[in-house]
Structure formats: C-alpha cells, structure tokens
Structure 1
C-alpha cells in the first residue's frame, strides 16, 4: 500500500473546516499525512486546523501560486501518492479517497481526478454545470484521445486530484507562475510523456460556486489568458464545440425543469463566460492595469511584471 499524503492549500478557511474534516474523518482509506498549506490567513483558521490534529505549513500570502504552492506540498509529501483538495471541497462518500487513488495503485494512470457534485443550495444553472462536466462514468485518457476529444481530453481539476509522485516529478510537476489551469497543463505534460490520466466517477466531492456575472467574466478571462499563454502545450485543445454543447444543454435542462425564470440569468452567465474567455485569449493586446481589473487573480499580473 502506497504512502498517501493529502495537501490542501487554504486561505481564511474557518467556515469550511467543520465540513471538510467531517468528510475526511469518514474516509475508509485515511491519509498517512495531511498538510494544510495556509497563505497567512487572518480568520484564526490555522489554529482551528491544528485543533483538528492537522499539520499546518504557513506561507506568505504574496508567494501563493496555483502550481508552485502545490509543488511545495508535493515536495513535503516526499514519496508515494499525493492527493490535492481545495478547502471548500467536501468528500461526499466514505470511498472518495480510496476510489481516487485506486487507478494509481494499480498502475493504470499517473494522475486521477474526482467527480464534483453540486451543493444542495446550488442554483439550477450551476447544478447543470456540474452534471455536464462530471458524469458518473469513469474514463481514462491519453494523448491518443486529443484529436477526438479536443479540450475535453485535457480536463483535470485540483479540486480533487491525486498523482503518483515519481511520475509527477518526472514531468516537472505543475507549471509555476501561470494564472490558472496548472492542472490541465500537468495533463498536457503527462500526455507528452506517454502517460494516462483517469477520471474517477466514484471519487465524489461536494463543490460548486454560484458566481456573479462579474466573477464569471473574471474567471473566464483568466481561463482564456491561460489558454493563450499555453497554446503550444495545449495543441489540439479546440474549445468551440464544447461551449456550444454546454450552452444548448443548459438551456434545455432549465426548460425541462420548468425553471423559465432562470433562463435570462443563465443567458447572461453564458455571455459573461464567452466574453471573458475571448478577451482573455487576447490579453497580450491589453495594458496591464486593464488586465488587473478584468482578472479574478489580479495579483498574477503584478507577479508577471516583476519577472
């Protein structure tokens, strides 16, 4: 049985700790070590994590980086399997961790990721987004699937993921100093090395966000920017067809539920996603002060200018 380390980057997570730890304590496969990587929280959450018996490693907030911070956690883990979760992901089944790492222990994949289920309070539009992206059926993918699947072949999320550390480090780990999508770019690196990645439908976590139109725009601006900056690595990751399928499916879902009043908001949400993504893909033509206003992760542009 492989050593299993759970790494959780956190920031002001006090409101999530009870549910997170409850889901963790129910797991039939318990991690050998849990590392909370806290970015100088000010809500007392580091002490709350410690009171739950968990190890807390503090880092300066200005040094947080989606890829770099998780690479730090992987280095601290040392060997075996490293599982990454976000602070707001609640393991929904006692089998979540066991299911997530099973393909890794069997040598079927270098990395895995789990299924995100909507929280009970999620809006109908957000529920559809989770169901569209995270189906019940598991599947494994490799570079051979890119021509047929496009961007779906690279889908991966660090909301709930796991890697075999020797394979993870063989490709350099997560890319660092990028605005977003460090998880998807790890898949691209693994595919280039001939590795496989598995989606595990039985590894379920509760995780959803009802973003405002502004937040949805900003998030997708960052996604578009990450696609632009990683165009060479994400060769074949066409996205147009996926967006159309999502839009048509979401409208049909709301109509079938009789949620007609949700349709205008859903149309606005789709518009914010599309506009943000297309502007993000063209971010190189925009001045840095404007990019900071359009971005959800505005600190990235300061860091980029400093490099």
Structure 2
C-alpha cells in the first residue's frame, strides 16, 4: 500500500499576502494504519535566489526568514503515528521587509512551507506548499500625480535623415495596475519630408540580477550604474504584450494630436521592486513609423503595483493644491 503524503492547505488562496500579514493554514496527515515515524518537522522560509549570471559564480541566496519547528516526536521510542486523520495548524508572521513573489530567468523570490516525516530505516515523507506575497510601491509621491509627459526629437529616414520628428506623449500617472486601461495622448510634429503612417506603444518588463548580494540595491537597469563588474551582473528584458498600433496619415511639415487606449496585461501581477540581488521593473516604448522607414521610439520608465498609503495621501494633497480658486473675485482696474 502506498503511503499518502502530507497535504499543506493555506487559509488564504484567492489573493496574496502582504508584509506583516499572518500566513495561516493546516497540514493534514491521513494514514489508515499506524505509521512508523520518529518526528514531524515543519519549516517555513522566504528567500531570494540568483543563479546563472555567469558560469563561474555559485548560486547566491538571501533569506528573509528561515525557521524550523518540531511539531511531534515519538514517545518512549515507540516510533509510531497512530492511525487516523491528523491536522497540524501553523501560523507565520511575515517580516515587514518581505519582497514580492517573483520568478525570472536567472532568479526568483519565493515563500514555502515544508513538512517532513522522519521515518526510521525508510525514506522520509515530504511535502511543500508555496504561498504568494506582494507589496505596495515605495515611491516618491510625485509618481502618482497626474499630467506626466515624455518628449523627444527623433530622426526620420532609414539611412539618410528626412528631417526631425518631435513626439510628446502624455500619461495620467506613472503608476498602473494589472488590467488597467489608460489613454495615451500623442502629439506629433512632423518636421520631415516624409508622411508618418502609424504610431505605437509597446510594454516591456526588465530585471537586473546580481551574482552576489549588495548592501545598496540598484534602482536603475544600466550596466554602468551597477557597482559590480559586467561579469557579475545581468539584465533581462521581455516584451509583455503585442504593440498597440494606430494608423495615421500625418503629412510633411504638419502636426496633430492623437488619443490611443492601452490596456496593461492582467497577468503581470509582480510589482516593481528592488533589492540587493534583484531589481525588477517595467517600461514602455512610444514611437512612430514613417514612409520608407523603420520604427523610431523613445523609452519611458513606468511602475506596476499598488501605491503605498503615503503616496496616495501625497497625491491627494497635490491634487487639492492644484485646484483653481473659485471664490476669488475677478481682477478690476479703473
């Protein structure tokens, strides 16, 4: 008869936990006959791990917590777990500095509960369960206010320049949620001799990895801003969704404003974060394509996730300050 392994069940499965929350659940052991065992050990840990930055570096692991507890031990050397349905409840208080759950090409951040039944002269029975953790963004309050814009001058033409094109893209915030739809406002000044035939927006995620833990995390994604050598760091970027495109017909030496809706993927639930091992974030490319040319674009950093309470309060305060006064009388001159 095959032995059934322990089953780990978390009380909260429909949404992730936040730093400071209590993770609760139960471990079920169902044995029809007495089970030979010396002890039952439950452990829980949260860790970030990076491996594969280069062939000569060992995997680097940093634990946020790592604890073990013996929940049952055999009495008087009998080494028997009585037959029946046994339940072991657990409760874990998450530290305030927990990182969000993340699974990437060269690293991960994960949280697990494990149980091991120590059996004499036999293979141990083991089981593990993973729970999800997220966190709110810790950004300056100005990131959550309205009226952000990005502006640049791009050169049209494939080999030789046909003249400059000035593009300005306006967003209502730099912080967004998965599944959220926003309106992008493109103002395009075509100072070239070629017609512009389309504008577009692309969405990417990117991750910066360290081969070893740094005391000060990298908040940028550039090689030259990282204190480690190029052999001890790595950058990975992936396009998250297909480009949003709009066909236009903007003639030479003219300008026009366009509005384009853009929906962020609802499956990108990992918020932007940075740590001594991993920095993860998002960016967009806004651009155009003119006749007989290729895509020209500018890159803009965005943030995915919930705004922290301080950011929300700060954004509300700034919005109130920006409201026009309605009680002041009009100016008067004789």
* TM-score in terms of structure 2 length: 0.22
Larger C-alpha radius of gyration, 1 or 2? 2
* TM-score in terms of structure 1 length: 0.23
Q: Larger strand proportion, structure 1 or 2?
A: 2
